[in-house]
Chains A and B, each alone.
Chain A
Amino acid sequence: MICAGIDGGSRAIKIVLMDCATLKVVASDVCDQGVDHDALVRDLLRGLMKTAGVTRSKVKRVVATGYTRNAITLSDTTVTEITCHAVGVRHAVPDAATIIEIGGQDSKLLRLNPDGGVRDFAMNNRCAAGTGRFLEVVAARLGVGLDRLGALAHKARTPAPISSMCVVFAETEIIGLLASGVRPADIVAGVQKSIASRVAAMMGREAKPPVIFTGGVAMIPGMAEALAGTLGTPVRVAPEPQMTGAIGAALLACLQSRTT
């Protein structure tokens, strides 16, 4: 039996098809988010099923999560990304105690019970300064790709202090830093440190290890190191960090299909 997990994030849509007998991912794919969330999901799922050789009737249950979860009409039910990331990460890292998830639009912190359930969680407020959007703005301003930010940060000598609490003001601050001759590498390192500081503030207390880093931003080199440095504890990147939410949704779909 196959079930699907769909993570309709603010920046990307992720879909996973899972074999419920083995709990293994049969196929997965990602596309950029757009205006018509539902149509994009349908197109992505159609292509994924074709690639995997699965017909729609074989997909027994679909769970949607993420920012646009309520706009995904083909889902049987919705579950928040908090729960899905917890389930997805624990599936890959059974001893995970703390999860940091940074996506395109928000960042989350989850503390887990020893049995894997969510103990409590925190999310950033409206500001995008602790999210992937911040890195996108910086990359665009510096004229480099997101994938090169990590390499650039490794060349930093003195991370530039980024004090602005808002991405718009931070961009202005970065323009000022560039104009005053601060090296782009130091700016990138400063931005990564700034994001890590916001996550640490959200944590509010010591991060219980193992700390697992997931979400799209976890794929950007240098961020895990910045978080580890700020939190004072090792931070491991989850396997397939961008897909964790969709994997969690697919796992929950499999679980629900057994009980419904």
Chain B
Amino acid sequence: MLPGGFQAPATQVATVRSELERLRAALADLAGLPLGDAELTAGIREANQVRALLDDLRRVAYTAEPCPMPALEMLIAEMLAIHFCSDRAESVAVLSELRDEVRRRAARREGVVAAGAARLFWVNPVADLRVMNLLEDCGARLCGTEYLFCHALDRIPEDLPPMEALAQMALADPMAGPSADRAQRIIADARALGAEGIVISRIPGASHCAMEGAVIGRAVQDELGLPAIELEVPPVADPMWPTLKTRLEALVETVLAGRVR
């Protein structure tokens, strides 16, 4: 069992670990510094500090009612999970303040969209960031995400030898393995976060897997009974705006009508 609920054979973990060992040796050689377990453990601890902050932020932002944080700002915050290394201290400071602000808003029941907005779970990052604003314009809020790097949000095990822990995390990457495994992770998260609908976005010509939308959408419909839509979002989405708006509005209508029924 891997972090995030994924699974992989022990032989696969061993193979990845041996490749990471080669990488460790190469890095130590290039840097002219030792890269022992102690250094790796310290690095893992620092990465986990960022992950813990993001975990807190996501939990409050995605569960508080009304929604205390806009979808676009949450996307940018989550992106720090894979871009914090260039300035760890600044990333920690930004995330800490953001988390505290979101906690304050949640305590005061302040929202960026009206209470009762349709709770949508978003899969894959968008090429045109404005679409995250459109989600809210259409009467919805984010209640969870899977931006293809959920393995960078999960805590790296600190009770394992560091190379074993890193090998497991590498294999918990949703881009490794079949879309069906990824769908199960999405279903578990969407269920836990109370999602009422799923949006699977795609970037034309740049999606991870051409068939993932169908696989994830069907699994979500079958196991959760939730409506799931696919959106193709190009880098400049202006020509697609009316159809994107229609789909998101229709999803919101479907969710709200389902509540009445």
Inter-chain contact B257/A118, CB cutoff 8 Å:
yes
Inter-chain contact A80/B218, CB cutoff 8 Å:
no
Q: Taking the complex as formed, is B160 at the interface, i.e. its CB lies under 8 A from any CB of chain A?
A: no
* Contact (A115, B243) CB under 8 Å given A120-B254, A121-B250: no
Q: Taking the complex as formed, is B221 at the interface, i.e. its CB lies under 8 A from any CB of chain A?
A: yes
Q: Taking the complex as formed, is A83 at the interface, i.e. its CB lies under 8 A from any CB of chain B?
A: yes
Give the CA-CA distance A2 to B127 in the complex, in Å: 45
- Which residues of A have CB within 8 Å of B247? 123
Inter-chain contact B250/A80, CB cutoff 8 Å:
yes
Inter-chain contact B240/A126, CB cutoff 8 Å:
yes
- Which residues of A have CB within 8 Å of B15? none
Q: Mark B210-247, 1 if CB is under 8 A from A, else 0.
A: 00001001100100010111101000000110110011
Q: Mark A86-123, 1 if CB is under 8 A from B, else 0.
A: 00000000000000000000100000010101111111
- Which residues of B have CB within 8 Å of A113? 261
Inter-chain contact A80/B246, CB cutoff 8 Å:
yes
- Which residues of A have CB within 8 Å of B229? 120-122
Inter-chain contact B218/A117, CB cutoff 8 Å:
no
Inter-chain contact B250/A83, CB cutoff 8 Å:
yes
Q: How many residues of B contact A (CB 8 A)?
A: 23
Inter-chain contact A82/B243, CB cutoff 8 Å:
no
Q: Taking the complex as formed, is B56 at the interface, i.e. its CB lies under 8 A from any CB of chain A?
A: no
- Which residues of A have CB within 8 Å of B240? 126
Closest chain-B Cβ to A77's Cβ sits at a distance in Å of 11
Inter-chain contact B254/A121, CB cutoff 8 Å:
yes
Q: Taking the complex as formed, is A260 at the interface, i.e. its CB lies under 8 A from any CB of chain B?
A: no
Closest chain-B Cβ to A248's Cβ sits at a distance in Å of 12
Closest chain-B Cβ to A120's Cβ sits at a distance in Å of 4
Give the CA-CA distance A121 to B257 in the complex, in Å: 14
Closest chain-B Cβ to A112's Cβ sits at a distance in Å of 11
Give the CA-CA distance A117 to B228 in the complex, in Å: 15
* Contact (A81, B246) CB under 8 Å given A120-B228, A122-B229, A126-B232: yes
Give the CA-CA distance A119 to B253 in the complex, in Å: 11
Q: Mark A125-151, 1 if CB is under 8 A from B, else 0.
A: 110000000000000000000000000
Contact of A123 among B217, B218, B239, B243 (CB under 8 A): B243
- Which residues of A have CB within 8 Å of B239? 126
Contact of A117 among B246, B249, B250, B261 (CB under 8 A): B261
Q: How many residues of A contact B (CB 8 A)?
A: 20
Q: Write the chain B residue with the least CB distance to A79.
A: B253
- Most chain B C-beta atoms within 10 Å of own C-beta, residue among A117, A120, A122: A120
Q: Write the chain A residue with the least CB distance to B222.
A: A205
Inter-chain contact A82/B227, CB cutoff 8 Å:
no
Q: Taking the complex as formed, is A204 at the interface, i.e. its CB lies under 8 A from any CB of chain B?
A: yes
Give the CA-CA distance A79 to B249 in the complex, in Å: 8
Inter-chain contact B253/A82, CB cutoff 8 Å:
yes
Give the CA-CA distance A126 to B253 in the complex, in Å: 22
- Which residues of A have CB within 8 Å of B225? 119
Q: Taking the complex as formed, is B258 at the interface, i.e. its CB lies under 8 A from any CB of chain A?
A: yes
Inter-chain contact A82/B261, CB cutoff 8 Å:
no
Q: Write the chain A residue with the least CB distance to B254.
A: A118
Inter-chain contact A67/B242, CB cutoff 8 Å:
yes
- Most chain B C-beta atoms within 10 Å of own C-beta, residue among A81, A82, A205: A82
Closest chain-A Cβ to B197's Cβ sits at a distance in Å of 9
Closest chain-B Cβ to A210's Cβ sits at a distance in Å of 20
Inter-chain contact B218/A204, CB cutoff 8 Å:
yes
- Which residues of B have CB within 8 Å of A125? 232, 243
Inter-chain contact A115/B261, CB cutoff 8 Å:
yes
Q: Write the chain B residue with the least CB distance to A82.
A: B250
Closest chain-B Cβ to A254's Cβ sits at a distance in Å of 16
Give the CA-CA distance A82 to B253 in the complex, in Å: 9
Q: Write the chain B residue with the least CB distance to A113.
A: B261
Give the CA-CA distance A213 to B214 in the complex, in Å: 23
Closest chain-A Cβ to B222's Cβ sits at a distance in Å of 10
Q: Mark A33-76, 1 if CB is under 8 A from B, else 0.
A: 00000000000000000000000000000000001000000000
Q: Write the chain B residue with the least CB distance to A125.
A: B232
> What are 17 A-B contacts with C-beta separation under 8 Å?
A80-B250, A82-B254, A83-B253, A106-B243, A117-B261, A118-B250, A120-B227, A120-B229, A120-B254, A121-B229, A121-B250, A122-B229, A122-B230, A123-B246, A125-B243, A126-B239, A126-B240
In the complex, besides A81-B246, A120-B228, 12 extra interface pairs with C-beta distance below 8 angstroms are A83-B257, A117-B261, A118-B250, A119-B221, A120-B217, A120-B254, A121-B254, A123-B243, A123-B247, A126-B239, A204-B217, A205-B218
In the A-B complex, the 3 residue pairs with the smallest Cβ-Cβ separation, listed nearest first, are A82-B250, A120-B227, A80-B250
Chain B contact residues, CB within 8 Å of chain A? 214, 217-218, 221, 225, 227-230, 232, 239-240, 242-243, 246-247, 249-250, 253-254, 257-258, 261
